[in-house]
Amino acid sequence: MTFHVLTIFPEFFRGPFEHGVIERAQRAGLIQIKVHDLRTWTADRHRTVDDRPFGGGEGMVLKPGPIFEAVESIWPDRTAGKKVVLLSAQGRKFDQSVAREFAGLNELLLICGRYEGVDERVAEHLADEELSVGDFVLSGGELAAAMVLDVVARLKECVLGNSDSRVYESFGEDGLLDCPQYTRPAEFRGWKAPEVLLGGNHEEIRKWRLKAAREKTARQRPDLLRI
Ligand code: 9D3
């Protein structure tokens, strides 16, 4: 699967994509990542990507021209299996099921917004959809794009290579949060790890983990139990 990221800060992605699952998935040939500098598709001396909003107001808006030119040059034909996503606070909310949907694509192109926003004609006539990563205000789409890429990349890795299918299934199959985990020492500053986990009774351990996961989900994320 190929990911394209369109951004005015290509250097932002050097860190996040060179570590962990994303780096591993790239090295294994499961995913390819191409980061594109939006300024490549400007024609003026100042490589202008933004302008003042019509009707007045604070800040600057990303111009439609360079973004349309970029997408049309990255994909001269937009065949099936390709999707253009505009990262935006106004989008559909990203979650694990959206990630599973994206993992079935051949190519995904993520457009990162900046400033006060992106000319609405990008959302209306270029992007297949707008996607938000949560109800909070980021300063741009780059962190959101890195999140989406991380989640989809690890799905690819789990489906095609990872023997631990639990990693793939957690968050979704049983709809619960993970159970609490402990490691040595068995007692730390007077706080003991649950006795049952120290013994070898796998059936008792399984039951304890399910109960603990249910309790933790009820406490932290009751919304997950109501679905
Ligand atoms: C408070 C500023 N808003 C009113 C003018 C508009 C606005 C513009 C640009 C709000 C956020 C941003 C930058 N955010 C993103 O590009 C973004 C985002 C987000 O802020 N929250 C959750 N998901 C995403 S995906 C992209």
Residue nearest to atom 3 of ligand 1 (CA): 116
Question: Vertex 79, ends 11 and 168: CA angle to 5°?
Answer: 65
In angstroms, rounded to a whole number, what is the distance separating the alpha carbons of residues 134 and 10?
23
How would you class 146 by CB atoms within 10 Å of its CB: exposed for 0-12, middle for 13-18, buried for 19 or more? buried
What would the mean pLDDT of 132-136 be, rounded to a whole number? 98
Q: Which residue, chain included where needed, has tokens 């990911």? A: 3
Q: Are the CB atoms for 115 and 69 separated by under 8 Å?
A: no
User: Quick one: pLDDT at residue 114?
Assistant: 82
Residue nearest to atom 2 of ligand 1 (CA): 116
What would the mean pLDDT of 126-153 be, rounded to a whole number? 97
Rounded to the nearest angstrom, the distance between the alpha carbon of 9 and the centre of ligand 1 is: 16
What would the mean pLDDT of 62-77 be, rounded to a whole number? 98
User: Quick one: pLDDT at residue 178?
Assistant: 98
What would the mean pLDDT of 15-24 be, rounded to a whole number? 91
Cβ–ligand 1 contact at 117 (below 6 Å)? yes
Given pLDDT bands bounded at 50, 70 and 90, which one contains residue 169? very low
Rounded to the nearest angstrom, the distance between the alpha carbon of 59 and the centre of ligand 1 is: 13
In angstroms, rounded to a whole number, what is the distance separating the alpha carbons of residues 85 and 101?
13
Cβ–ligand 1 contact at 104 (below 6 Å)? no
CA torsion sign for 151, 153, 157, 159 is: positive
Rounded to the nearest angstrom, the distance between the alpha carbon of 168 and the centre of ligand 1 is: 30
**Taking the model in full, what pTM does it have?**
0.93
In angstroms, rounded to a whole number, what is the distance separating the alpha carbons of residues 169 and 161?
14
- Closest atom, ligand 1, to C-alpha of 133: 23
> Which run of H or of E encompasses 191?
strand 191-192
Residue 19: CA atoms inside 13 Å, Cβ hemisphere, count?
Answer: 5
Ligand 1 mutation target, pool 137, 147, 151, most atoms within 8 A of CB: 137
